[in-house]
Amino acid sequence: MDRVMVEKHLQQAREHVVLGEQHIARQREIVVELTALGADLREAERLLLNFEESQVMHVAHLDRLKAELLAL
């Protein structure tokens, strides 16, 4: 990829990481709220785990793009 394309993808990856952080934070709040209500947490915790796993992938992608940009 050329530098312009890598920078574009890097910006998108940064946005994904920020959104991922927001989703994780909100889902953690939901788990707390459901806990206080004594509700079944299985689905909420499963969704939180999915968000956290996706975030790991988003951060790894961001790191790869940063490295690629440095190599250009």
pTM for this predicted structure:
0.92
The answer to whether residues 69 and 38 touch, using CB atoms and an 8 Å cutoff, is no
Which tens digits make up the pLDDT trace of 10-36?
999 999 999 999 999 999 999 999 999
Rounded mean pLDDT of the chain? 97
Tell me what pLDDT residue 31 has. Answer: 98
The answer to whether residues 69 and 3 touch, using CB atoms and an 8 Å cutoff, is yes
| Contacts with 17 (C-beta within 8 Å, 6 or more apart), sequence order | 55, 58, 59, 62
Where exactly are the structural domains of the chain? 3-65
- Percent of all residues in the chain with a pLDDT value above 90, rounded to a whole number: 99
CA–centroid distance for 60 within its chain: 10
Which tens digits make up the pLDDT trace of 40-62?
999 999 999 999 999 999 999 99
Cα distances (angstroms) measured from residue 56 to each of 37, 50, 60, 66, 67: 30, 10, 6, 15, 17
